[in-house]
């Protein structure tokens, strides 16, 4: 789910080919849940393409689609999709804790995990920036975002003491 390949065993998903592009992580789970519950289910996890979202709803795998990371940066994503946008940007594909000349560090599992969480921190920092001044900063580096979030956490913990 965080994009840390090899960090844990992966189960085969029984979904359409289009979902194999890292979309609709939980559709299989939602389909199984539909058999056990009679309430609307929101499915999250990797959705970026409108056609995949429509497929998940039309197939009965979801009643609602949740958008997480895209909404941290493209705050009007639902409106854009409804207006005809085919696909939301996948910012995480361009983000990395390591510069290209240090990319080999990603082969170390512990560092790969830390780098994946650092990318998550980039999204957290975008949310924080939205809350503070109403703007995102697409040019924020993953390292700067990690430092920003870790400083906030440090300050929050200090205030709780």
Helix (H, G, I), strand (E, B) or coil at 79: helix
- What pLDDT score was predicted for residue 19? 46
Which residue in 125, 41, 97 sits closest to 28, CA to CA? 41
pLDDT along the chain (161 residues), means of 10: 54 51 70 84 89 88 90 95 95 93 92 94 96 94 96 95 86
Q: What is the DSSP letter of 68?
A: -
- What pLDDT score was predicted for residue 17? 53
Q: pTM (2 decimals)?
A: 0.78
Instruction: Parse the chain into domains and list their residue ranges.
Output: 1-92, 95-161
- What pLDDT score was predicted for residue 7? 55
Q: Which phi and psi (to 5°) does residue 85 adopt?
A: -60, 130
The tokens describing 78, both together, are: 């639902």
Query: How far separated are the first and last CA of the chain, in Å rounded?
Result: 33
- What pLDDT score was predicted for residue 20? 46
């Amino acid at each position: 789910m965080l994009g840390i390949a090899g960090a844990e065993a992966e189960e085969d998903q029984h979904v359409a080919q289009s979902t194999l592009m890292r979309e609709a992580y939980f559709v299989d789970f939602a389909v199984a849940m539909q058999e056990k519950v009679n309430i609307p289910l929101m499915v999250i996890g990797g959705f970026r393409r409108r056609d995949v979202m429509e497929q998940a709803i039309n197939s009965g795998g979801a009643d609602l689609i949740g958008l997480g990371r895209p909404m941290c940066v493209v705050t009007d994503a639902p409106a854009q999709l409804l207006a005809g946008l085919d696909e939301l940007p996948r910012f995480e594909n361009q983000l990395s804790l390591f510069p290209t000349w240090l990319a080999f560090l990603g082969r170390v599992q512990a560092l790969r995990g830390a780098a994946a969480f650092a990318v998550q921190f980039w999204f957290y920092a975008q949310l924080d920036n939205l809350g503070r001044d109403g703007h995102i900063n697409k040019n924020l580096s993953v390292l700067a975002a990690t430092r920003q979030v870790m400083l906030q956490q440090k300050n929050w913990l200090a205030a709780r003491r």
